[in-house]
Amino acid sequence: MSKTNQGKKLIIIGFSSIVILFLLYGRYQDPELFTPSALESIQRIALGFYITMIISIGGIGYGIYKFQKSKIENQNKDILTTISIVTSSKKSRKIFVIAFIGYGIFFSLVSGTLVYQPEINFVTHYGATIPSGFIAPCCDGPGYMPKIIVYLTEHVGLQIIPINLILQVIVSYLVAVNSSIAINAYTMSKKSRSASTIGAATGLFIACPTCAGTFLSIFIGTASGIGLSILLTQLQTLFIGLSIPILIVTPYIMAKKLQNSDGSCKINFKS
């Protein structure tokens, strides 16, 4: 089996495992199941949920790595090869890491994964021990349970929701890919002084389409208080949902600017 097919297989298995995991755990969201005798067993199942999900994410990441590596080695003249070459350059890897970590932190803040509540003391209000953490196994829809709650300080904590964690990894990865390609496209268009400069520069802003929804949510939330929290959550989810297909399509558009007339990449991936 070729590395390309191995990579594809790992990616498909990884995503399929996550979907199945969400659906299976959804069967344990009946409050009647949470008797004192069953609680310990369900806690172990919740822990196994996260171990399996992390392994699946790791499998997807390794699958993408193998797929990208095979594309570079084969040096085919297609868009995916160009994207693989561009994102593998030394400069692109630095941009990728910075964008992935930076957007990951940003996403954590706006999604409520990283919680900062200066007006609430977790010790006083919730009786929390600092530092401490636990898994809340019930009860919500598929993808929203089990939650991991961590108290880091009296005002800072983590609320890890499975679907948010998956979205954070996917969107941060796509933002990082878009950023590395956009900067290379912008640099290339400046060197050639072509009309594509505007398009390449626009790509830099397309790398964060969810920001519009986030800042709108922050503005409305600040002006109107917590009464619109449900609406804002739905609004943010809508923008995130719209951003994923945009973030997938945009690299194809920008990579076209980095191809020669014969379909080969203009950039040496070893540079």
Segment 188-225, tens digit of pLDDT: 666 654 444 444 444 444 445 444 444 444 444 433 43
Mark 36-53 as b/e (b = at least 16 C-beta within 10 Å).
eeeeeebeebbeebbebb
Which residue ranges make up each domain of the chain? 77-113+161-271
pTM, two decimal places: 0.79
Torsion of CA 32, 35, 41, 42, to 10 degrees: 40
Structure tokens at 13: 């298995």
Buried b (16+ CB within 10 A) or exposed e, 172-193: bbbbbbbbbbbbbbbebbeeee
Distances from the Cα of 225 to the Cα of 106, 155, 179, 229, 232, angstroms? 21, 20, 34, 8, 11
Pick the more confident residue, 128 or 141: 128
The residue type found at 141 is G
Determine the pLDDT at residue 152.
92
- C-alpha triplet 18, 21, 27: angle, nearest 5°: 150
